């Protein structure tokens, strides 16, 4: 590769990244055109460019998007939210805790944005019936979805990319990342209660209204729900054992999704409707960005960054990991974590070849924890936050960047500290 090509390649990448961050061009268009430009300008040949696209990531996302679309239609999320409000007998703090756990659980296995899209409207309804502002519920849900999503390999796109690129199994991901997540989730209702104190007082009369909700009528197609839950459970079970049956998660997700479609009364209608709910823009963003990063790898730019970082880490995995947690945490607070993680993955892989490969696993956990949790720091840090703010705004409850951020920041600093402590304790002390 000539110097000239390297300059062109880096320029394309930086410009596309700038457009993505600034939002001046839609991120999908910027990534795809950036990737294509790299092919046109002979930075990377087309076949090699396409081989950099991680199809395991793309097909896993497609499969899960289809399953979640069906699950949402069944009314399950609405049922669980209303049921938990009744179980809490209308106590707003208890409802908030339930909503946090429901959201976190589903976000761990499903797309965060989709989970909050399903849970937010019913939360607003519950808050309205209680006569309180829905903002505490909604902020809690956005935060919980980002924390919950961190727990598994399929919970959040950065994890999907990391797991796929580093060949980490689903089970190994859970074993290594979920312990601090469980702690964070248990703490979250207490932190939120403390931050939101005195904001939610509810009369007994209002609580009585919640008790009048008739949950028996929410699920209208119980056959569909049963089928969907069976498929969902089988898919998750498949994830747990995928390394033993020697299958990638994408294969399992796609099989689950299409078996579910196969079970529909009208396959043609189901295909049409469900395919329209696949977020093609996100998928093409991934494809474009994979190609651009591929270009940087071909140019040797990634290798150079890795060498530089390895130097900064002073060959200390502890320093490197803590550095990665906080760097990715703060960067993800302001920028989209997907392009950042997509760029960091080959860098860390390369560091692995320079340091011992087994030894770099803490770096992967650090990248995952930092990038996923960091999204909670500001309103624009994660897609789920933005979507929740949008839904809230549409319903006449606008919350500003700072209103979210003042809660998100505190929570994220606590979470990143827990993550750092965990990595230090588990990988470097208890070895």
Question: Do 141 and 123 form a contact (C-beta atoms < 8 A)?
Answer: yes
What letter does residue 52 receive in the DSSP assignment?
T
Min CB(281)–other proteins separation in Å: 20
Is 73 or 426 the residue whose CB approaches other proteins more closely?
A: 73
Q: How many residues can be counted in the chain?
A: 431
Q: Report the b/e string of 23-55 with b at 16+ CB within 10 A.
A: eebebbbbbbbbbbbbbeeebbeeeebbebbbb
Write each residue from 62 to 101 as x if it is in contact with other proteins (CB under 8 A), else as -, in one continuous string. Answer: ----------xxxx--x---x-------------------
Least distance to other proteins, CB of residue 116, Å: 11
Minimum CB–partner distance for residue 129 and other proteins (Å): 8
Q: Closer CB to other proteins, residue 107 or residue 392?
A: 392
Q: Does 380 bind other proteins (CB under 8 A)?
A: no
Tokens read off for 231:
């498929």
Q: Looking only at residues 381 through 420 of this chain, which bind other proteins when binding is defined by CB under 8 A?
A: 391, 394-396
Task: Find the binding residues for other proteins in span 295-324 (CB under 8 A).
Answer: none
Question: Which residue, 82 or 100, has its beta carbon nearer to other proteins?
Answer: 82
Q: Which stretch binds other proteins (CB under 8 A): 116-124, 180-188, 296-304, 339-347?
A: 116-124
Residue 193 Cα distances to 147, 188, 189, 200, 312, angstroms: 17, 8, 6, 9, 40
Residue 270's nearest CA partner among 257, 279, 261 is 261
Q: Which stretch binds other proteins (CB under 8 A): 93-101, 122-130, 197-205, 264-272?
A: 122-130
Distance CA 214, CA 82 (A): 9
Rounded to 10 degrees, the C-alpha dihedral 386/387/392/394 comes to: 110
Minimum distance from CB of 70 to other proteins (Å)? 12
Q: Which two tokens stand for residue 418?
A: 């827990």
Nearest alpha-carbon partner for 44 in 32, 36, 56? 36
Which residues ranging from 198 to 227 are in contact with other proteins (CB under 8 A)? 212-215, 217-218, 220
CB of 293 to other proteins, least distance (A): 36
DSSP class of residue 26 equals -
CA–CA dist 248, 215 (Å, integer)? 38
What span, in angstroms and rounded, lies between the C-alpha atoms of 81 and 96?
10
Q: How far apart are CA 182 and CA 195, in angstroms?
A: 20
Closer to other proteins by Cβ: residue 13 or 98: 98
265 vs 396 by CB, closer to other proteins: 396
Query: Nearest 5°: phi and psi at 278?
Result: -70, 135
Cβ atoms of 158 and 383 within 8 Å: the answer is no
Q: What is the per-residue binding string for other proteins in 123-152, x denoting contact by CB under 8 A? A: -xx--x------------------------
Which residue, 125 or 255, is less far from other proteins as judged by CB?
Answer: 125
Least Å from the CB of residue 257 to other proteins: 20
Least distance (Å) between residue 374 CB and other proteins: 28
Q: Distances from the Cα of 350 to the Cαs of 165, 298, 304, 310, in angstroms?
A: 12, 13, 9, 9
Binding mask 156-175 for other proteins (x = CB under 8 A): --------------------
Q: Which of 108, 122, 162, 166 binds other proteins (CB under 8 A)?
A: 122
Taking the least distance from each CB to other proteins, the nearer of 160 and 224 is 224
End-to-end CA distance of the chain: 42
Closest CB to other proteins among residues 309, 387: 387
What is the rounded distance in angstroms from the CA atom of residue 139 to the CA atom of residue 100? Answer: 10
Minimum Å gap between C-beta 18 and other proteins is: 34
Least gap, CB of 79 to other proteins (angstroms) = 8
State the minimum distance, in angstroms, from the CB of residue 398 to other proteins. Answer: 13
Residue (221 or 353) nearer to other proteins, CB: 221
Rounded to whole angstroms, the Cα distance separating 340 from 332 reads 8
Binding residues (CB under 8 A) for other proteins: these are 72-75, 78, 82, 117, 120-122, 124-125, 128, 212-215, 217-218, 220, 391, 394-396
């Amino acid at each position: 590769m000539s110097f000239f090509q390297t300059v062109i390649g880096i320029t394309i990448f930086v410009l596309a990244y700038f457009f993505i961050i600034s939002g001046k061009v839609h991120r999908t268009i910027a990534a795809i055109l950036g990737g294509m430009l790299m092919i046109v300008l002979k930075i990377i040949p087309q076949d090699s460019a396409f081989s950099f696209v991680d199809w395991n990531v793309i097909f896993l996302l497609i499969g899960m998007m289809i399953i979640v679309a069906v699950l949402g239609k069944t009314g399950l999320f609405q049922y669980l939210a209303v049921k938990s409000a009744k179980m809490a007998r209308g106590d707003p703090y208890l409802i908030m805790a339930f909503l946090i756990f429901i959201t976190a659980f589903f976000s761990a296995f499903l797309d965060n944005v989709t989970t909050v899209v399903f849970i937010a409207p019913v939360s607003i309804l519950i808050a309205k019936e209680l006569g309180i502002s829905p903002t505490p519920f909604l902020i809690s849900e956005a935060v919980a979805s980002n924390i919950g999503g961190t727990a598994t390999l399929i919970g959040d796109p950065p994890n999907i990319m990391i797991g796929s690129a580093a060949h980490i199994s689903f089970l190994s991901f859970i074993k290594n990342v979920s312990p601090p997540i469980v702690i964070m989730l248990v703490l979250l209702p207490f932190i939120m209660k403390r931050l939101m104190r005195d904001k939610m007082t509810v009369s007994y009369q209002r609580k009585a209204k919640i008790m009048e909700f008739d949950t028996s009528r929410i699920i209208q197609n119980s056959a569909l729900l049963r089928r969907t839950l069976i498929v969902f459970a089988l898919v998750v079970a498949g994830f747990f054992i995928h390394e033993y049956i020697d299958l990638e998660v994408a294969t399992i997700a796609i099989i689950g999704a299409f078996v579910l479609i196969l079970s529909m009364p009208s396959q043609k209608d189901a295909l049409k409707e469900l395919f329209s709910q696949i977020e093609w823009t996100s998928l093409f963003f991934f494809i474009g960005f994979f190609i651009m990063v591929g270009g940087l790898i071909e140019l040797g730019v990634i290798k150079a960054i890795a060498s530089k970082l390895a130097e900064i880490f002073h060959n200390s995995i502890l320093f490197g990991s803590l550095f990665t947690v906080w760097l990715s945490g703060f960067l993800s607070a302001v920028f989209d974590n997907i392009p950042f993680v997509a760029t960091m993955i080959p860098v860390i892989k390369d560091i692995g070849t320079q340091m011992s490969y087994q030894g770099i696993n803490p770096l992967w956990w650090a990248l995952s924890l930092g990038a996923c949790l960091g999204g909670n720091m500001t309103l624009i840090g994660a897609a789920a936050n933005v979507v929740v703010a949008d839904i809230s705004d549409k319903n006449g409850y606008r919350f500003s960047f700072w209103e979210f951020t003042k809660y998100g920041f505190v929570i994220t600093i606590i979470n990143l500290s827990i993550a750092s402590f965990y990595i230090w304790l588990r990988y470097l002390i208890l070895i």
